[in-house]
A and B are shown apart, each in its own frame.
Chain A
Amino acid sequence: MSSQAINSSVSKVIRPLSMDKLNGGQKLAVHYFTVAMILFMAQLLFGLLAGMQYLMPDFLYNTLDFNVNRMVHINAMIVWMLYGFIGSIYWFLEDESGVEIVGLKWGKIAFWVLTVAVTIVVLVYLLVQTGSGTKSSIWLINEGREYIEAPRWADIGIVAVVLVFFYNVAATFSKGKWSGIAGVLTLDLVALAGLYIAGMFYTTNISVDQYWWWWVIHLWVEATWEVLVGCIMAWSLMTLLGVRRKIVQTWLYIEVALMFGSGILGLGHHYFWIGTPEYWLTIGGFFSALEPIPLVAMVVHSIYDSGVHHFKTRNHPAFAWIIAHAFGNFFGAGVWGFMHTLPQINLYTHGTQWTASHGHLAFFGAYATINIAFFYLAVQKMRGDCWMGGNMPDNGWKWKAAMVLLNLGVVGMTVALLIAGYEQSFIERAVEGSTWGGYFAAQSHPWFIQAMVWRMVFGVMTFIGGILLFWDLLTIGKYEPRPAVGVSQ
């Protein structure tokens, strides 16, 4: 059908956003995706506020200080990504297992418990902000440990919710059929949930504190999360392109071997400077330098499979975001991580904007992208499995523009922060010797300030991309008369 013919039929067809065609797990997934998208917007908003404070330090001073904005920025990110992952798995759980989800009712209760808990935690972050130097502050207000600031009561709630989720995944696969993806996913979730507990204790000793803190942070984002998205990616390639199960599962095992083989001891690259023994310089440097290898494997197999299947897919936006994931993961987590992972350079880059540069590209490239792909899979089915290929009624300008703005925005921020990181490494670290005077000499240098201005410009671009994405997810397929076509294996 030509786009002219489609446009002429625009007024005749309206597809409502409906849950009718969704299975139980997919209905629950939509709840998770909705909250994920709202939290994504919160992440972007608080990132803008924090970024603005670099340029205008008086902005919201003593009202909504940098530490609060930054905490909400990174916590919203961690939580929306987890929501996205849980939603994605619920999305394909019934299809993959061949049976209905065993404890769907508990899954729904867990969703609401988690969402109410997240809301309370964020409100306390914003309204109470900090407490006195007592254990009750850690239990009730915030834990003050980067990324896992959630107070202890919320930690316990998170573990309970994850256990319900784990039960649903394991029990549903047990009742239905086990696949390679199911096996890897279930074992990975055991590790993911178990590792969170490693961060749930208080100790006076900062070296011991950070030792276990990195078990949570690193072994999540550089190991178990990567394997989790490997599972999601494997399922996506089968669904979107029709790649054979044997192919994706073989690749999945290769990726698990390479990911855990490099990532578990790659943990050592966080143990260079926290008081831990010198042997971590060698072990951490060596294994973390290998960490990009599985990400290369992921790019190779996703692009190869795409070529074999002639890039024919039933959902262009989702597929485009999957490709963005393959490259974003490789560049953001792999290349940007590798650039400063060896101790000889990390001595100067550790704790500078260099890390922020890596963090922005890695989290976006590895995790935001694949979640967004699933948002598009969900809206397609909610619009009655409508056509999401070429020649969309409005030529699909919104998803394309959102994709360009988000990717360009994040890459722009990454490069700006990298320039700031180089400057800091040279001036603050190498020349000035890391004193407070050296720190501020670097912060007030024109190169640094220019980089922060550019970061802000690209941050605004990212935010606009986010708004456009939100709008597109609410409207794409609304006026699409054609049904989706299937993929053949």
Chain B
Amino acid sequence: MNENRPVWASESFWKKVAVWVTAGSFVILIFLTFDSISQITAGGSRVAAYTVINKKVTYRFDKTKNRYQPVILDQDEPLFGQMLDEKQAYELVNLGKLTIQAKNCMNCHTLLGNGAYYAPDLTKAWLDQGWGTAASREMLMLQFLQNPGKYARTYGTNRKMPQLGITEKEAKGIIAYLKWMSTIDTNGFPNNFTAIDAEED
């Protein structure tokens, strides 16, 4: 009976297939990883350098690509009124990232859509219309992050951000981080998002 069994139904055949398929897939993944990392390094083709926080940025529908796209305008808009060099910009954004991790933001919020769903996505938080105008945005964000209970933005849900003991310096870092993150090319995610200063465009 055994000699009538086709090769593709045998244990040894599938063992070889398993090894080759796994190895092949992994090699392709490694190759794509090198390419992807080169494109998403800060200052690469899809992720802006940290000094982008000195610029005015927005998010618009791109007719050619037929999706939304972050736009870095050729117009200075220094954060907290101060132009930062490469090192200073990195340090501020890095402080923001460390704070976002240390305060466990990701277990309420999503960043680039990943995290928890108890609070809004932060991918384009810098550009959100909820801050009113671009002029008032920095001050409102600073107030809110340092005292989220008092300056709660719950939109009637009573779901308040907890008091996390964020210092002014850390809050500035977070804001820089959010501004930098809003310029990452996320392939059109989120879709249909209207940026804070869309009327001006």
Contact = CB atoms under 8 A, between A and B. Distances in A.
A82 to B, nearest CB: 20
B61 to A, nearest CB: 11
Contact of B118 (A53, A184, A347, A432): A53
Interface of B: 9-11, 14-15, 17-18, 21-22, 25-26, 28-29, 32-33, 35-37, 39-42, 46-47, 50, 90, 93-108, 110-118, 120-121, 124-125, 128-130, 149, 153-160, 162-165, 167, 170, 173, 181, 184-194
Contacts of A355: 117
A130 interface: yes
A343 B149 CA distance: 37
B21 A257 contact: yes
B25 A130 contact: no
Contacts of A207: 40, 46-47, 112, 184
Nearest to B29: A264
B14 A253 contact: yes
A363 to B, nearest CB: 15
16 contacts: A67-B108, A67-B162, A202-B98, A204-B93, A204-B94, A208-B41, A254-B17, A272-B189, A276-B39, A280-B36, A351-B110, A356-B117, A429-B190, A432-B192, A433-B191, A435-B129
Contact of A133 (B40, B173, B192): B173
Nearest to B24: A261
Given A144-B101, A205-B47, A261-B25, A281 B187 contact: yes
Given A204-B97, A254-B17, 13 more contacts: A130-B103, A142-B104, A143-B101, A144-B103, A146-B107, A204-B93, A205-B41, A207-B46, A207-B112, A261-B21, A434-B190, A435-B128, A443-B155
Contacts of A67: 104-105, 107-108, 116, 118, 162
Contacts of A53: 118
B155 A437 contact: yes
A57 interface: yes
A142 B101 CA distance: 8
A189 to B, nearest CB: 14
Given A133-B99, A146-B107, A441 B155 contact: yes
A253 B8 CA distance: 12
Nearest to A275: B184
Interface string A246-273: 1001100110110011001101001111
Interface residues of A, number: 87
- Going nearest first, the 8 A-B pairs with the smallest beta carbon separation are A133-B99, A144-B101, A440-B155, A434-B190, A351-B113, A253-B14, A273-B189, A137-B102
Given A130-B165, A208-B40, A260-B18, A253 B193 contact: no
Contact of B104 (A54, A149, A281, A432): A149
B2 to A, nearest CB: 11
B156 A444 contact: yes
Contacts of B39: 276-277
Given A260-B25, A273-B186, A134 B98 contact: yes
A188 B186 CA distance: 33
Contact of A264 (B22, B50, B103): B22
A210 B114 contact: yes
Interface string A36-71: 000000000000001001100110011001111011
A162 to B, nearest CB: 20
B14 A204 contact: no
B101 A347 contact: no
Contacts of B114: 146, 210, 270, 274, 351
B148 to A, nearest CB: 10
Main secondary structure of the interface of A (DSSP, over half): helix
A264 B100 contact: no
A61 B160 contact: yes
Interface in A92-139: 129-135, 137-138
Contacts of B32: 279-280, 283
A201 interface: no
Contacts of B130: 435-437
A460 interface: no
Given A138-B101, A204-B90, A276-B39, A440 B189 contact: no
B15 A253 contact: yes
B162 A351 contact: no
A301 interface: no
B4 to A, nearest CB: 16
A123 to B, nearest CB: 16
A141 B104 CA distance: 10
Interface string A396-434: 000000000000000000000000000010000110111
B124 A434 contact: yes
Nearest to A278: B187
Contacts of A133: 95-96, 98-100, 102-103, 170, 173
Given A275-B112, A434-B121, A436-B130, A130 B102 contact: yes
Given A144-B105, A265-B29, A253 B18 contact: yes
Nearest to B91: A204
Contacts of B33: 211
Contact of A439 (B115, B120, B186): B120
A483 interface: no
A430 B189 CA distance: 12
Given A70-B116, A204-B94, A444-B157, A274 B102 contact: no
A132 B112 contact: no
B164 A353 contact: no
A180 interface: yes
Contact of A66 (B40, B107, B121): B107
Contacts of A430: 191-192
B11 A440 contact: no
B106 A145 contact: yes
